[in-house]
Structures are given as C-alpha cells and as structure tokens.
C-alpha cells in the first residue's frame, strides 16, 4: 500500500511539473507574439503615414509633368521609349580600376 501511495504522489508531482513547464512555455510564446504584434503595428502606422504623404503629394501636384516627376523619382517609372540607367560606383573599386589602367580616378 505504501508504494502505491508513493507512486501516486510521484505521478502527481511529475504532472504538476509538466503543467508548470507548459505554462511557462505558453507564457513565453505569448510575450513573443505580443512583441511581434507591436512591431507590426508600428510598421503599419509608418506605412499609413507614408501613404498619406504620397497621396497628399499627388493631390497637390499641379500638372502631369509634376506627377511624372514624382513617378520617376519615387517609383522608378519611365515613359514608353525612355531608358533608365543606374550607376553604382564603389569608391574603392573606382580607385583600383583607375590605378590599373594608369588613369587618375
């Protein structure tokens, strides 16, 4: 009889320890989810503010030329037939190429 009671107590202790560990794990996941929600809410607010600014800029644009300028600068768009060239110079790369060819940078 004594061993049966000891076994039941041991099983109850193990069950309580498992429930405590599960509770702590769930609490950690909840904290992580709340932090992610806060980051996403801040990102959403920032994007809404940027959207409002862009909408205001487009509505304040007086003519088609101003809208085309905004489209080129902010969105990287071009009119049909236009070609866009992007230049990306790394200062160290430019200096090393200039030195190899005998030219000054």
Per-domain residue ranges of the chain? 2-60
Q: How far apart are CA 99 and CA 93, in angstroms?
A: 10
Q: What is the pTM of this model?
A: 0.43
Helices (H), the chain: 2-60, 64-75, 91-101
Digitized pLDDT (tens) for each residue of the chain, 105 residues in all: 688 899 999 999 999 999 999 998 999 999 999 999 999 999 999 999 999 998 887 777 578 887 788 888 888 888 888 887 878 877 665 555 555 555 554
Which pLDDT score, from 0 to 100, does residue 43 have?
Answer: 95
């Amino acid at each position: 009889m004594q061993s049966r009671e000891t076994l039941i107590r041991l099983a109850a202790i193990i069950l309580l320890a498992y429930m405590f560990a599960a509770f702590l794990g769930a609490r950690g996941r909840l904290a992580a989810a709340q932090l992610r929600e806060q980051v996403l809410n801040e990102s959403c607010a920032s994007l809404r503010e940027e959207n409002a600014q862009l909408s205001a800029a487009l509505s304040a644009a007086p003519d088609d030329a101003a809208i085309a300028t905004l489209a080129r600068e902010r969105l990287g768009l071009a009119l049909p037939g236009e070609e866009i060239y992007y230049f990306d110079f790394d200062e160290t790369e430019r200096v090393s190429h200039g030195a190899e060819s005998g030219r000054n940078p």
